[in-house]
Amino acid sequence: MIKVLVFDFSGVLYSSRFEKFMKSILSLVPGLSGNKVIEVFYNKHQDYYAGLIDKNNLWSGAFYLLDIPRTKFAKINKIIFEKGLFTENKYMPSLVNKLSKNYKIAVLSNSAKEMELVFSTSKYYKSFTGFFWSHKENVRKPDERFYKLVEKKYKVKPSEILFFDDKERNTSAAEKLGWKTIKFTKKIYENEAEFLKELEKVGVKVS
């Protein structure tokens, strides 16, 4: 029987605006390669998510590697910090609030501090009883040690945990530990009815 529901942040609870952000950078810096932007930010975010560098080092380091002129910094910072990089999944707040009546609810995410700040202002933040952020724990999915933190906190059998993530490598790692999983697709993210069907398949009830 499922006792704990564990949600990923980006791709499940929230969508990411990184693609829009990247297009904005390319429009501001003609000649810059999209693949180069992805490579640089991916590598820098690995260190950021693991808590090895702070926000200033993340952005300044990425801008330096991409040879972005300082005259462009203000416009790019506006895109990042004023418009935001994340949008809340519209059906999750009310659904999670209902699920929290029968299950323990947690978030397990390869994260940045901005994610935690955004999430702390959400309407359903108080429905969560466990917060596992990679930037605080210095470990990331699909590392087994990260998942084990959830088991340690809730003291349940692996088969009593249901995990939602949009990356197959992360759900596969969880399944190897004995967790139940639902891989979030775009169809599930955009359609609550599809998510409810998946929950019904594994016996999760919504009050």
Tens digit of pLDDT at every position of the chain (207 positions): 999 999 999 899 998 766 667 777 787 777 888 778 777 877 777 777 677 888 778 777 888 888 887 777 777 766 665 556 678 999 999 999 999 999 999 999 998 777 887 898 888 999 999 999 998 999 999 999 999 999 999 999 999 999 999 999 999 999 999 999 999 999 999 999 999 999 999 999 997
Residue 26 lies in a domain: yes
Same-domain status, 40 and 100: no
In the sheet with 161-165, reading across from the earlier edge strand, the strands are: 130-133, 104-109, 4-7, 161-165, 180-183
- Is residue 102 helix, strand or coil? coil
Q: Are 70 and 137 found together in one domain? A: no
Which structure tokens are listed for 200?
């019904």
Q: Under DSSP, is residue 107 helix (H, G, I), strand (E, B) or coil?
A: strand
Range of the domain at 114: 4-15+87-201
Enumerate residues 6+ apart whose C-beta is below 8 A from 69.
29
Question: Which residue(s) pair with 106 in the sheet?
Answer: 6, 130
Question: Does the residue 137 lie in any domain?
Answer: yes
Q: Where does a domain end: 38, 59, 81?
A: 81
Q: Domain total for the chain?
A: 2
Residue 107 lies in a domain: yes
- 67 with 168, same domain: the answer is no
State whether 38 and 138 are in the same domain. no
Q: How many CB atoms lie within 10 A of CB 64?
A: 10
Contacts with 135 (C-beta within 8 Å, 6 or more apart), sequence order? 48, 49, 50, 51, 111, 112, 113, 116
- Residue 207 domain-assigned? no
Single out the residue in 81, 96, 112 at which a domain terminates: 81
Residue 164: CATH number of its domain: 3.40.50.1000
Q: What is the pTM of this model?
A: 0.74
Residue where one domain finishes, among candidates 44, 61, 81: 81
Does residue 206 fall inside a structural domain?
A: no
Domain-located, residue 58: yes
